[in-house]
Amino acid sequence: MKKRILIAALSVTIIGILLLSLLFIDLFYRSAVDSAEKQLRTYMNFFDASAPFTQETAEALAEKTVTARVTFMEADGTVVADSFAEVEGQTREDRAEVRAAIAEGEGYSVRESDTVKKNMVYYCVRMDELGGVLVRIGIPLDSEIAFFVDALPSIIWFLVMDILCCLVFAWLATSAIVKPVEQLTREFATSSGGVKTKYPELKPLAKMMNQMNADIGDKVARIKEDNRIEKLVLDSMEHGIVIFRGPSDLILINKTAAQLLSYEENEPIALFSEDGEIAELLASEESASLYRKFGEKDYNLRFTMGDPNVLLITDVTESMAAARSKNEFIANVTHEMNTPLTSIKGFAELIYAGAVPPERIQGMAKTIIKQSDRLANLIRSIINFSAIDSDELPDYEVDVSELIAELIGGFEPKLRKKDISLKINVEQGVKVMSRRERLVEILNNLISNGIRYNKEGGVLEVSLTGGARPCLTVRDTGIGLSEEDKTRIFDRFYTVDKSHNGGGGGFGLGLAIVKKLCRRAGWELKVESTLGEGTAFIIEFCSDQQLKS
Ligand code: ADP
């Protein structure tokens, strides 16, 4: 800006000075012409009309004036005598001053003389008393250009001085103008508060700056708040997110990802270089999905390569466990089905081939029926187990005391067979919110286990207490459970004694069903057991909304 002001000021003054110089030169020149004309009139007075109209008279007149050229001409402009050159006989009637004198009695002209080769001022007078002869006197006068050339050193000197002065004054002036603006800008950039100025011309600017400052402040605050919320959202996500351009060029990492990848601020992510597969992937810049274990958990690492690259880390422990459990389940079911099916098929083929003596056929048929029952039981248990997840039927009040009394009779033959004495310790009228078939499933499983894993001549005790927390206990004096088995008996297809399989033992689904039903109902299921002494399964019907007594 300063530069532009300086250039403008300089241009204006230089042009001004040049124009002024030309004007003055013109004025000087005009005044010089005027005074030359006056001088010529004076010289003309020196002309003696009585003197002969000859070369000598012309030269004498010229001598009187020192520098003048005197020309005598006939009335038609033919030169009679000339003090400067021998031009007698030549005509000068075409010269402006001569023409004017012939026509009007006198005439002036300023021009370059062909004869003298100088700029001359001529004054010509018609001498009527001498028969109209013409007397012309001319004196040299510098041309306008010569005037300019003469004045040029002064003009240049003046211009230089002017430029210097102009530079100084323009610099001071622009500084004075620009300084408050600069001060305002500096204040705007550094101070967090508003800017002020004492100059009224700058007040609208200061007002605008303050407005802008306020707007920017608002925007910055909003951006900060947005960033804070964004960070909050990202950090509270259970998924890990990393946005990056390269292993050491990290744009964003959320809390979960930072924890999983043990990220240290301003350090590259170690996994990106230490894990060969990931390093290769980053080098190839291809999107891919990998699985990695961090601690006890399984994670899916989905790399979406682009500009920038995005890594999404998802905890897939549960889905992987579910997939594993599904595979295990299928393997277990297949295994459990295979044993009875093999035996049924084997015996049926033998009978069909007629290779079995008639007295053994009945025994074989009995085995086939037993194995078929076992297979049917397995299928029923699997159906029951799976049905729990989709069971959305509404609960209603079930009298558990009554249900125990109803069911227990069905176990008499088995109890008798093992000589087990039954103790019923049931408080009457204990009701819970559930469905009859669910409680039947639970009671059947616990009571039949209490008989199956009891000792010959043992005791089976079924207790039910009411009150705020109704509680069912099925206790036996059977083989008991080791500490390890206590934690595993609720797993699907888990049986302590594997030799039971294919024989009289179950499939390891009963307690899994009991556990699933209790968990869905919000009841607490506990097991207390001492190896060789006996086991107790306790259910506390503790879900508040389902409690009834
Ligand atoms: P199963 O049909 O094999 O009995 P469960 O799921 O009911 O399947 O039981 C799983 C395993 O837990 C059984 O195989 C058994 O080893 C053990 N178990 C269950 N109840 C008792 C009990 N009352 N006493 C000792 N062990 C038991």
Mind listing the pLDDT tens digit for each residue in 184-236? Answer: 888 888 877 788 888 888 888 888 888 888 888 899 999 999 989 988 998 89
Q: Are 253 and 234 spatial neighbours (Cβ–Cβ below 8 Å)?
A: no
Q: Is the CB of 509 under 6 A from ligand 1?
A: yes
Using the mean position of ligand 1's atoms as its centre, give its distance from the Cα of residue 417 in Å. 19
Q: Is the CB of 496 under 6 A from ligand 1?
A: yes
- Say what the pLDDT of residue 501 is: 45
Atom of ligand 1 nearest to the CA of 496: 16
- Say what the pLDDT of residue 519 is: 94
- Say what the pLDDT of residue 5 is: 75
Mind listing the pLDDT tens digit for each residue in 385-402? Answer: 888 888 889 999 999 999
Q: Name the closest-CA residue to atom 14, ligand 1.
A: 495
Using the mean position of ligand 1's atoms as its centre, give its distance from the Cα of residue 537 in Å. 11
Low-confidence ranges of the chain (pLDDT < 50): 500-503, 545-549
Q: Which helix (H) or strand (E) holds 460?
A: strand 459-465
Atom of ligand 1 nearest to the CA of 512: 6
Of 489, 492, 529, 538, the one to substitute when testing ligand 1's pocket (max ligand atoms within 8 A of C-beta) is 489
Atom of ligand 1 nearest to the CA of 511: 6
- Say what the pLDDT of residue 77 is: 93
Q: Are 197 and 203 spatial neighbours (Cβ–Cβ below 8 Å)?
A: yes
Cis status of the peptide bond prior to 308, with omega within 30 of 0: yes
Of 420, 441, 446, 449, the one to substitute when testing ligand 1's pocket (max ligand atoms within 8 A of C-beta) is 449
Q: Is the CB of 108 under 6 A from ligand 1?
A: no
What are the residues whose beta carbons fall under 8 Å from the beta carbon of 524, sequence distance 6 or more?
518, 539, 540, 542
- Say what the pLDDT of residue 498 is: 61
Q: Are 126 and 136 spatial neighbours (Cβ–Cβ below 8 Å)?
A: no
Of 453, 488, 500, the one to substitute when testing ligand 1's pocket (max ligand atoms within 8 A of C-beta) is 453
Q: Are 253 and 273 spatial neighbours (Cβ–Cβ below 8 Å)?
A: no
Q: Name the closest-CA residue to atom 10, ligand 1.
A: 508
- Say what the pLDDT of residue 452 is: 94
Q: Is the CB of 381 under 6 A from ligand 1?
A: no
3-state SS, residue 141: coil
